[in-house]
């Protein structure tokens, strides 16, 4: 056991395939046309105190989030499932809201951030700010 104090952060990632188009962009912009991505969603989760055998939380506890991604986003048109324009930034925020509402109340620790990548080189991160 370490004498250091601090927080521990864990991460977990999932992928899904979806299409979208960004209608607020000007005509001729490639992202205005319908296109698809293999999205990667990564979450960071933290706790000041480890539980059980030394966990922030068991990775298996994120199963409901994986089901949410599969049922609501995988192989979908994001324009039809999101109220906001389906940018990676808006998707990261939407997913963070779902996690805070549906997972945080029943798990050890709390959400730090959600990162959404639409390619290996392009991503957006929503970081939760706590009062």
DSSP strand pairing (35-47 vs 76-77): unpaired
In terms of Cβ atoms closer than 10 Å to its own Cβ (0-12, 13-18, 19+), residue 101 is: exposed
Task: Provide the annotated active-site residues.
Answer: 31, 75, 118
Tokens of 41: 């969603």
**Among 58, 57, 69, 56, CA closest to 98:** 69
Q: Which residues pair with 23 in a beta bridge?
A: none
DSSP assignment of 66-114 equals HHHHHHHTTTEEHHHH-SS---HHHHHHHHHHHHHHHTGGGSSSEEEEE
């Amino acid at each position: 056991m370490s004498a250091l104090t601090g927080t521990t952060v864990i991460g977990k990632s999932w992928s899904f395939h979806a299409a979208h188009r960004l209608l607020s962009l000007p005509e001729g912009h490639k992202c205005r046309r319908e296109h698809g991505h293999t999205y990667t969603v990564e979450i960071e989760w933290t706790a000041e105190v480890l539980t059980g055998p030394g966990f922030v939380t068991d990775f298996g506890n994120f199963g409901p989030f994986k089901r949410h991604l599969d049922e609501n986003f995988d192989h979908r048109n994001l324009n039809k499932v999101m109220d906001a324009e389906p940018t990676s930034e808006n998707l990261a925020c939407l997913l963070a809201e779902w996690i805070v509402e549906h997972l945080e109340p029943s798990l050890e620790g709390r959400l730090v951030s959600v990162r959404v990548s639409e390619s290996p080189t392009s991503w957006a991160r929503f970081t939760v700010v706590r009062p």
